[in-house]
Each structure stands twice: as C-alpha cells, then as structure tokens.
Structure 1
C-alpha cells in the first residue's frame, strides 16, 4: 500500500495530532472503526493503536512529504511498526540534519537532489517561456526548477526586463544564495501585479498548506471581499477568472485539473510561494491564521481576516484565543477542519443567552466549508450579521437554516450543498441582493423564487412535476440576470405533458440570457419524445440522462450539447455515431450497461474472436474529455486512427479478466489519440491474477508510449479491488485503492525521470527487510 502523509512543515510533536493520524489511518484502512467526520476529536492513543495494529502485518510504502523538524520525524517513526515484510518509508526534506536523523541505519540511503545545470536550466526556461533566457536571469534562479518556472512565467506574460537589470548586481554576487534569488524573483513578480491582483494573491494565505482550493469558491470569495469591482456580476466573474488564469500563467499558483472538460478546477500553492505570501500578509496585517498564533506571531492590533485551522484538540484550540485579540472587529472568518468550531463561537465570553455570532457584527465573509461539526443551533444569531455577503456552509451537518437569515440584506452568495437541508426558510425570498444560490436537488424548491429576480446563478432546482417547471419558465421570462441554471428532473413522470413542458422550457431558454444550463436525471423515456430546440447562445449545456437507452434509439441530440452523461444498454457503432453527431460536445461520460452489439456475431467460434466497437476516424471532432465505464466487465471500445483528434483526458474503467477473456488482449488503440495528455485506467481486479493486471497496465503504457506527438501523457492506474499479492498464485486480494503514476516525458524532463530512477535503484538495492529514507 502507498500512503501520502500531509506536509509537516514548521511542525513539532504537538502538531502531529490525532487529525494527522486519522487522515493516515483512513488512507490505509478506509473502513476503520474511527469515523473520519465524527462530531468529536478522537483520542490520539486510540488512532495510533489502530494504525499500528493494522500496519504491523502489512507491507507498506509510505511517503512523508516535506518534514522540517527532527521532532516531527521522531513522533512519526515511533508509530510505524518494524516488520520483516520489506516495508519502505520515503521522506522528503530541505534540511540536511533532518535527513541524517532519518537515515541512521546502515541500509538507509540519502539521495541529494542536485540543481539543474546551465544547459538544463536554459532548456526548461525555453520550454516554458517559448523564448531564450538571459544568463543573468538564470544565475538568479540558481538551478532551482521552481525559480526558473516563475521567471518563465514573467516572460510568457510579456513583461519587460528593467527590474531584472536593476538587480543583476545582486544576482551575480557570489554571496547571493539560491534562496535569495528565489525571494527576489517572487518579490519582482509580486511588485509587477496590479493592485487588485495583489490582494487576490495574498488572500491565498488564509488556506492551509497543500490545500486544494476550488476555483469557483475562490472567485466567489474574491468577489465578496471586493478585491475588484464591476458594473455587472457577470463582469465580476469574468474578471475573477482572468485573475485566476493570470496567477497560473505567472506560475504563482499550480492548477489542479479534474476530468471535467480539461479546464483547471482548482489550485494549490507551493510551500515556498505560500511562505512568501504569508510574509506579505503579516507585514500588512492582511490576515491572521491559527498557525501564526501557535508560532507566537499573534498581532496586538485588531484582526481583519482570521483563518482557523482546526487540526488540534479542543482544549488546545481554546488557548489560541487570548483576551488580547480583537476578533469582534474581523471582517472574514474562515474555519478549516472539524475541531474547535464551538470553542471559536464561545469566544469572547458573552453574557448568558446572547448568541455568539452576534459578536462578529462586522463580518462580510463566513466560510465554514466541510465543517462536519457545525450544527444548525450554531447559526443562532446569524441575523445580526447585517453586513454579511458570503455564507459558505457546504458540507456542514446542518438540517435547517434559521428564519432570521432573511435579515441579511447584503447577502449575495449562499452555498448549502452537501448538507442535510430539505427546505429553505421563506424569508430568503426577501433577499434582493442574492446573486448566487447553491443548493442540491434534495431541497424543495422555494415557492416564492419568482420574487428573487436578482439571481444570477441557481443550482440545482428539483423539478418533480409540471407545475414546478412552469415556475422556472416564468422566472426565466421575468429575470434578465439569470445566467447559470441547474435543474434536476428526478421524480418527473415520463408523460406527454412532461415532455411538452420541457420543450416549452427549452424554447424560453433560447431567448434568455443563460450562458450555462445543466439538466440532470432526464429520463430515457422522456428523451425519446423530445425534439430539443438548440439554444445557440449557451456556452455550456450539460445533459445527464438517467436510465439505460438502447444504442440504436435515434433520439435527437441538441446541437449545442457540450457535456453529456449517458448510459446505453447495448453499445454499438450506430449508437456512438448518434452521440458523435453533437458537434460541440467537449465532455462525454459514457456507461455501457450490457454486452456490445458487436458481440452478437454468430460466426465467432471463440470468445477471444469477438470484435470491439470501433470509434472511427473523425468521430467526436471537438471532444476533450472522455469517460468510459463498462458494467459488463470487458473494455469493448477501440480507437481508430484519427478518432477524437482533440481528446486530452481519457478515463477507462474495465475488468482485467473479462477483457482478456472476451477479446484476448488489451489493445485499445490509445496510440491513435494524438492530443492525449493524461489517462486514468481503473482496472477491476475481481478474480484476476497479478500477471493479468500487470499485463493490462503494461499494454496501456506501451500504447501511450507509441503516441507520435509532442505531448507528454501522464498515466494513472487504479486497482478497483487491489491487494497484496498473496500465495503462489499471486491473486489480487482486497486492499485499499492503490494508484500508480507513470509519466512519459521528453527533453529536459528526462532529468527529473533520471533523478526518480536513481531513487528507485536505491530502493531496490536495499535489503528486503529494512526501511530506508531518502532526502
């Protein structure tokens, strides 16, 4: 098993808390007896005991990333059991003393990462910036890949070089270290940003290290903080997107890609860059975090923005809130984690009976996303936050909202997705400034939604009868600002009246200002009755069809469908050609619930002779992301040369044994996907042997390596029900999901692969019974 331990930068034994151990435990043992989202913090001894008992009989490979203290390693090492099963521990650190402490045994090995050479630095800069670099600039980078990427980001943004020339005397000095060059580059990049973008960048300091920040959430927070202004909300959103992309272009944030139309869905901040951002934040009293307070950096003046990272015990959390802090004047409160929320709400001490939230009367932003300990009664007194613009309760364990929420006359964004809500209070209809209402289809549609004509984004409204759909139609007719709408038709009867109502709705959409429309759970019976009228102005049209549809059913697809989720009961080339007729389709999630039509060939005398369904040349000309799941087991698709010419992301889910039994090989024609950049193969291992699973992974890897293009595809393999290879048969038994990543790189990237291969050889050279660490 492979486990990635969260970073322990600037940590000491107390910070290696039960939260850290619980995260590790649920990686190696998802069905652990200690719940991950419990209402109370578990005892550390309980978590550590269960973790040791689970690992003592297992062969494990654990990666501990970015340790900055010897004491943190001592705590971690005391929990990892010694065994004779060939377990390994891989550690990364920037401190040589920590590396030496982690490598005290003869079989341990330290690998010293060397900086890039001059030629390698030039090659990397040229690949990223698409232009040559000056020698003085490369000297400032000191051979550090991150510094070179940041410098290349400045070049790719078309920036002039006077600032660099003014600082050349520093960069060429023999006393200038690599870290000094990094700080100078970061300061130069920051100084060149416009004032609003500077605020957007420094705001990232409120998130914990290595935290994946969702793009949509971040832009909404920027808007609520008023970092930039605009006449219309849609202009604000476009500005936020442009700022997000600008930070990516400058390499100040790292994009996180999902398998959703190939676009970045979020970002993370590199630890070095985050340290620089936090320094800027402290200098300007921009934001204060609980990590700052733990390290003794508590400000003595009023706090403007407070980020509370609850990874510690409740009693320790209470010590972080001394009476000298003026939390009552803060404008932003963000809580990351589960523990400590109640402690925060009970500070400062107020007289009995007074709701704690009323103390923070200047709050503009209250963001407590994924806080499983938050309950409905904690929101008592929220009506006193009359300046509140953003209320993020996504993932909270609330079952109702207080009626006093209608007093929040400045509230613009309300996110209550993934909660236990079933109804919204009627008072919400009076919030005239509400722009973004994010709910799920389990919430009953508000009867007075027609009064909220200022809405710009609503998702997802449940439509379970014709009457509720008529209300949505009337809202579209009366509102001129609604641009993003999501509807769920779960529970809608497949009648003629329902089909007619949907057709009327789509006609209104064609004359509205919508730019994004999502229709979920549209029954297969309804699809066959529809003649979808294409609303051409839509930038995104997502259609999710529930229930299996015969591949030969000639249902009419809307010509502007961009995202399609569909299940077909019998996959065939005719059905695929119908789906491929959507010219603007960029994402397709296709599920085959039965055997392929090509399998019915009566001339086939052997199961190994059955023919796969071929995706022909020119099919899906605009598709960028393709998911394919075969419930019948074997992967029945094969890509022909020239198919899906723009495909960048591919996800395949199939059973190794069934595929090999039905078709005799794992040749899917992946080498014909010339634009592919990443592939995720989820391989079902049920009843399969180890060689069969390895054969599937090897075959896919070889096909990817045969792609003749300038791309550098990344392969991820996940085993659906993997396990340790046990016994002489080496069958794949049950275990937690293991992900193997293989990256094919070219040119300079070979340097990184060489470094990785050196560490791999070091692993293999160690004895089977020892553990080792690598710097």
Structure 2
C-alpha cells in the first residue's frame, strides 16, 4: 500500500523549529526538560529527512509503512505537549505582564518572585504529569529512531511511475479513439482548431489546452491535430509526463519529422538534439503536439527546438496546470460534459452502442453520473467497468458508487494521483484537509483559511501574512485544477471553492490511509480509530432523521485537533474530554448544543457557531487564551460576555446580533470585526472601533445610527481606523459620511441600502476623500433614483476606483 506521507513531512519539518522556540522562552523548565526538548529537536530533524525519502517509495514494505505511522503519531503528541506546556506551567502569566517585566519596580519584582514561587508550588501536580509525559515521549522517540536505523530505503527506491508501469495508460484511449465514438467534442474541437489555425500573423503560435485530470485534454488536442494536420509539411506528437526523459522526448520528435533520423550518435545529448531539430524545422511549416506538460522548466528547454520562421507553424500543448498553460499565446480551458452528453457517453459505454438503459437501472445510473461530475475519464472508466460484469441492481449500485476498493478503476485513480504527487508537502496537507467536508460542499474561503491557520498548517514566513500564504495555497490548488472555483468576490478574489466528486473521492482515500481525517456518518453508533488515534473528526449528519443517534464517546476522540459537524449536532462528543482541540466548527448545524467544558479547551483557536441554536456563551469564555476566531452570527446570542476582552489573541470577531461589551478597543490583535448592533450611542461606539489599531476589516449592520442635522447617518471621523482596508456597511438608509483624512488605507468599500438610493436622500458623501480606494460596490434593493445617485457617485470617485452596482 502506498504511503500518504505528504501531510506528515510538513509537520515533522516544522516541529524542530517549534521546539527551538520553546527553549528560547522564559519558562521555568523542570530539571531535565531542557535537555529532553533539545533531544527531540535533533531526533525529529533526522526523522524529517527520512520521511522525505519515504515520499519517493512506490512500494514500501510493511515495516516502513508502520514506521511512518509511528512518526506521525509521535509528531502529533509532541506538538500537543509543546502547546499545552505554557498553560500548565506558566500559571496564567499574561503576555502583557511578561513584556512589561523590564519596566517594574524592585518591590514589584520581589512580589512577582513570591507569586511565581507560589505558582510553582501549586502547579506541582501538572509538573509531575509533564515529567511523566516527557519520559514516555522520549522512550517512543528512541524506539522510532532505532527502527529507522534498521531500515534501508535505497534498494526500494524505484523510478517514478514504475509501480504503474503495467497499468493501462488512459491517454492511449485518447490517442487512438475512433472519432465517431466521441461525445460532446465537436464544439470544443472546432473552437480550438479555429484558435490554432486562425489567420493573421504568420509567426509561431502556441495554443495550450488546460483542464482537470481526465477532462479530455489529450482527446481534444489529438482531434484538432488530426483535423488540421494535412496543412503542415512536418508533424510530430510527443508525450512529456511528470518526470520526462528530455533526450527521449526530443528523439521521438526528431524521428517523426525526419524520416532519415536513425539515432546518429546524438540521441543522448539534448543540446545536440535541439540543434538538429531546429535546423531541420528552420525552413518548414510544422505542427507539433506536446501532450502532458507539467512544468515551465521543461518547456524552457523544449521551446528552443522550434524556430519562429514566419511560416505559420503551430504548437499545441496539453497540461493540467494553469501556470504552465500560460506559456502559450492562447489558452483553452476544457469544460466538463453537460448532463445530456454525460448521459449519452455513460449509456454507450455501459449498455452498448445503442445506449439504452434498462428501466430498473435508470435511477442508480443517474446517481453514478452525478458522482462522475461530467468528467469524461470517470464516465468512461466506470461505464466500462460496469459493462464488463453481469450485475444485479444492488451490485450495479455498489460497484458504481463505491470506487475506493475497486481495482478496475486504478487507471482513473492513477491519473488523479499524479496531480497529488506533484504537490509540495504543504499543499498535500491542505488538499487532504478538504476531505473533512462532504461531496459537492461549497467551502467558504475565509472559513477554510482561518481553519488552516488554527490547525497550524500555515507556517509563519517573512513578508506575507499567514492569511496571504493560505490564500496563495488555495490559488495554487485551483491553478492545478485540483480544486474548482465556485464564487468570486467583486474584486476578483475567490469567495468559495468546491472539490470535484472524483478528486473528493481520491482525497478521502488518501486521508483514511494516512489517518488524517476520521469520517463518521450519522448511521454509525460508534467511531473506531482504525489505523491510529483520531486527530480530526468530521460528523456527516445529513438529515433530521439522524438526530436520535447516540453521542460519540469523547474518550475515543480525546486527542482530536478538530471537530466538524455537518447539518446536525447529534453525535458531537462531550467537550470536557477534548483537551487538545484547536478547531470546533458547527456552522449551520441544527439541534441542541451543549457547551459544557468549552472553557477548558485551552488550545482552542477556532470556534464557529454561526447558524446554530446557541443562545448564550459561557461567562468564562475569556479563559480561551489561544482563541483566534469567534463566530456567532445568525444565532440567538444577545450579548457577548465581558470576559472576551481578555482574549488577547482574538483576530476575527463575528458577533452578529450580539451586543459587544464596552472596551472593545482593548483587543489589540483584532483584524476582523462584524456586528449588527452598534448600541444606543453609535457615535461613541464608532469612535471606540476607530481606536482598534490592528483592525483591517469591518462589517456593520445598522438601522439606527448617529444623528446629524436631524438625519440618520454613519460617520467616519478623520482620526480613526488608520489600518482599515475593507469596509462593508448594511444600512436601512443611504446616509454615510466620510470625513477628511478618514480611512487612509481603505481599498474596498461595499454599501448596501435596504431602502435604496434616492435623489432626496443625503446619500453618500466624502468618498472622494478615500485616497486608497480601489473597489466600490453599491447594492440597492430599489432602483428609484439609483441611476442619478450613481452618476453623482461616479463624478466624485477618483479615476483608479472601480465602481460596481448591483
């Protein structure tokens, strides 16, 4: 069985640095602890090197597979120990107190020394626990390290792709398919052919066909190659692949364009082959198809074969990576089959050339086609597999919908695996994380980014913030056609994404192999760790009928880092047994919700209760010192406890209708604030909001605002909100004023007015004073006077601002 170590190597790589940070902090380390931490740091560094080597193994032996699992569990437990250490030994000393230590009096220093002595005494039980845990962890590290030294990875390492050397290459179907049997290809073929052969410049033109694995790129390019090939004196078609032998690719190309080429001694030298090809093509009009290109570096070598001789030569490239596709002058993105074409192709493959589906299989065939998601490779693979058997209806359904263990679909799985294997370790981890969500689930980007950060999947780097890094990861996964964009924001950034069902099925298999996520359906009364301790639990409660299911025993998921419930709260484990939980996500869940034990989740960083039936937060929620995101929008919570002001690390506060406590400006880490109720004195509240120096994004929902001249208005003074970059306002009346000097860094402004824009209203004033504004969105539910009002807005907005109306 293949090792899915991509999700592991990134974490093992980060742990030595995390341990180093622990050594540099001013903790009162127990005797021997500092030496143990240094020992862990050195051993894990060596283990990471071994883990990276394991990624190159195609067929590891059972011992190696077991060793990888042990390293994974060990890394998780060491990281949990590091994160809990400060809470159990530091005795609650605040970051502010620690920072101010250098500016206190001698008397205060003596007082603190006494208090710390008392704290050390009162934390003796915790310190004994720490010592015991360290002894156990050190024993495990030694054992795992000794096992690694007994293994020899070198003889097992084989050339990339050799494991599947005997597997059927699905591209052969595309290369030699009968054109008459193809479905849904006529329009795309003619479109790409016109793009390739379009009259105009006679210079060299490169056209890229880009799309998800199995979307028919090779089939489409081959059909275009056949259709227009007669117009070119020289033609060649070569396949490159992930780890190409450049000399072989160039030799194959030369043998097709030069009938006299017989390996004249230069077949092993890419430089000589390039020179020979370039000389041969110099005075000819040529057409070359380069299939399955994976990197711009490979193209950077191959492109020197092709002289631009102004004879109208053409190159067609196929790739699944958008950045690689951009090497072409023109890019065509493949589309998935629509329902009619998908049905035609599936019925032909499954039930013969006439394509007639037996009546008793119509409903299950519809389910299978939905799972294929319009992906030609999936439709052809599953249809051919079903056609090869005589199946009852139940067997037809089981084989067609449950692909994980079906050996006849290895070719399709291998196609997806190539894209996965090409990812760096950090992106493998982030992709596997998406298996937490159900099939065809639309994932909000902000939610995903904050969850990744909360679980430590995004490492700190110089320059960009962790959120920027996470968004870049999403963009790269989309660019590699492993994740599909769903919705865009008005500034062109991604708002949500979705995973194609075939890829979703693949990453679920990989997650289960690597014990990355435990998926539990509502029908299950229990959860079993399987290959190890459960670290992430996703409860896929799909309907109201699942409400009566037994609750999962928290003891079996006591080491879980994240709990996600979909649709219903039934089955959610008791919180008081989840000591290392980082993420609790119950968004949109129906049913009763018990938060007993919430304030004991000392490592909790992400708490999403939006859309639940919760009506009150625990008064001591301020004990969650690590909390970074708190989301209670669309709940019955009327007021946030004053203790939230103690949440020193809270970055995203999404309060909904809940009233905020006074003193919100004390929250110095706050980046995002969303609230519906600004109180009876909104002018004072806005002034307080303006003093939050860290605030980058503000969302306000308000009906009654401050008064000025008898008119309701939202007013932004010139002395606040110095760091705000995004502002969203939802008001009943269109009365918003920006004072001179207000919001100097604001780049995006969204305004929504329930009663519309009218010529009589005071409207929006001061927008021209927002010097950094790039995007302005005005959403009016009524069109009365909107055109005139927008015309006025356009007159005052500076030229570099894009104005959007909806």
User: TM-score, normalising length from structure 1?
Assistant: 0.50
**1 or 2 for the larger relative contact order (CA 8 Å, sep ≥6)?**
1
- Return the index of the structure with the highest Cα Rg: 2
User: TM-score, normalising length from structure 2?
Assistant: 0.48
More helix by proportion, 1 or 2? Answer: 2
